[in-house]
Structure 1
């Protein structure tokens, strides 16, 4: 666990942090319509992939590599084990000079996330989780308290960018009427999941669930006592892009059920 945390921090210090608020012309590219990438993303992924393979020689499913060759993500289902890597989570924040970005990795065995790491360079904070062994922040054990009070006192985040317009309007109306405060989020799963574990949020609804974004935080949340599940209640499992949509993350099982009921009228 410690060595992977070191790998992420080292790669970040080598090629990501030196470019924070210092990206040169030509170092930001569009990899797909509405999706940007920087030279820092690409260089960090190469470094992290090489060092993770030295630690455990299994396939590495990296966000930027999969962007170039989507078939690489199939290793999550076809291989006994695989690494997942998000070299710069919150790239839009990074480009804008906002400190809400992270470097993340997970280890997946037989389709289940068994270990995860989230490095937040702006605050030198490392979140880790290991299946069955708990969640940690800079070496201190994390336990997510139960959501306090009724839903009208809860604070949540509704990630509505990828929702169909009609469903977005319905969910936004239900959320506004049923919860205490709804935020748009911080544009980085590696910041938002720790926010939930630390108590700043009680629930988050995501729609698109790319595996490198959600495997690290989902394990962190569940090992701290929270819930990360599909809308039918199935526990989250990392899937190749294009798989199931919709993921509700919450402080505890009762919070998850009640948040879903408010949002979807179930």
Structure 2
């Protein structure tokens, strides 16, 4: 666990942090319509993937490698184990000079996330989680207290961009039941720790790319929260396009109540 955490910190210091608020012309590119990537993303992924393979020789499913060859993501199901890498989570924030970005890795075995690492360079904060062993922030164990009983006191985020229009109208209309709905922080590596730390009580996601959600889902679950599909099945990392819809909450009761409120027509 410590060695992977070191890899993230060192790769971030080498090629990510020096480019924060210092990206040169030509160092930001479009990798797909509406999706951007920077040289920091690509260089960090190469460094992290190489060092992870040296540590444990497994396939590496990296966000940028999959953008070039989508078939690489099939290793999540075809191989007994694989590394998942998000070299710069929150790339749009990083490009804009906002500090809400992270570097993330997770280890998947037999379709389940068994270990996770999140490094937040702007605050030098490290989050780790291991299946059955707990969640940690800078070496201190995380235990998420249950949310208040009254939803009117809850603070959450609803990512409605990718919902179909009918469901979006339903969900957005139902947010009135909650105390505060935020736009989110545009980086899963910031938002999941916000739930584990108690800053948020729930988040509804729709598109669930595995490198974005595997690390934080394990972190929240091991801290006492819930990360599950809308049918109640526990989150499992899927290749892009396989599964949509994910509700993350502070505790089981909050998860159930949030789902009921948001999806009621």
TM-score by length of 1: 0.99
Counterpart CA distance in 1 for 2:205 and 2:69 is: 25
Shift of 1:165: 2.3
Classify the secondary structure of the residue corresponding to 1:192. helix
Which residue of structure 2 aligns with residue 49 of structure 1? 49
1:72-130 Cα offsets, whole Å, 9 max, x none, are 00000010100000000000000000000000000000000000000000000000000
Classify the secondary structure of the residue corresponding to 1:214. helix
Counterpart CA distance in 2 for 1:161 and 1:45 is: 27
Q: How do 1:190-201 residues align onto structure 2 when only pairs under 5 Å count?
A: 190-201=189-200
Counterpart CA distance in 1 for 2:34 and 2:138 is: 35
Which residue of structure 1 aligns with residue 78 of structure 2? 78
Note the residue ranges of structure 2 that are not aligned, 5 or more in a row: none
Counterpart CA distance in 1 for 2:44 and 2:167 is: 37
Which residue of structure 2 aligns with residue 138 of structure 1? 138
Aligned CA RMSD, in angstroms, stands at 0.7
Q: 2:156–2:202: 8 Å Cα contact kept in structure 1?
A: yes
Which residue of structure 1 aligns with residue 203 of structure 2? 204
Shift of 1:8: 0.4
**Structure 1, 161-170 or 86-95: larger mean CA deviation:** 161-170
**Structure 1, 159-168 or 43-52: larger mean CA deviation:** 159-168
Q: How do 1:167-206 residues align onto structure 2 when only pairs under 5 Å count?
A: 167-175=167-175, 177-206=176-205
TM-score by length of 2: 0.99
Counterpart CA distance in 1 for 2:58 and 2:121 is: 26
Q: How do 1:1-266 residues align onto structure 2 when only pairs under 5 Å count?
A: 1-175=1-175, 177-265=176-264
Aligned residue-pair number: 265
Classify the secondary structure of the residue corresponding to 1:246. strand
Counterpart CA distance in 2 for 1:159 and 1:186 is: 11
Q: 2:62–2:84: 8 Å Cα contact kept in structure 1?
A: yes
Counterpart CA distance in 1 for 2:200 and 2:258 is: 12
Counterpart CA distance in 2 for 1:153 and 1:221 is: 20
Counterpart CA distance in 1 for 2:2 and 2:108 is: 17
Moved over 2 A (4+): none
Counterpart CA distance in 1 for 2:255 and 2:58 is: 34
Classify the secondary structure of the residue corresponding to 2:220. helix
Shift of 1:184: 1.1
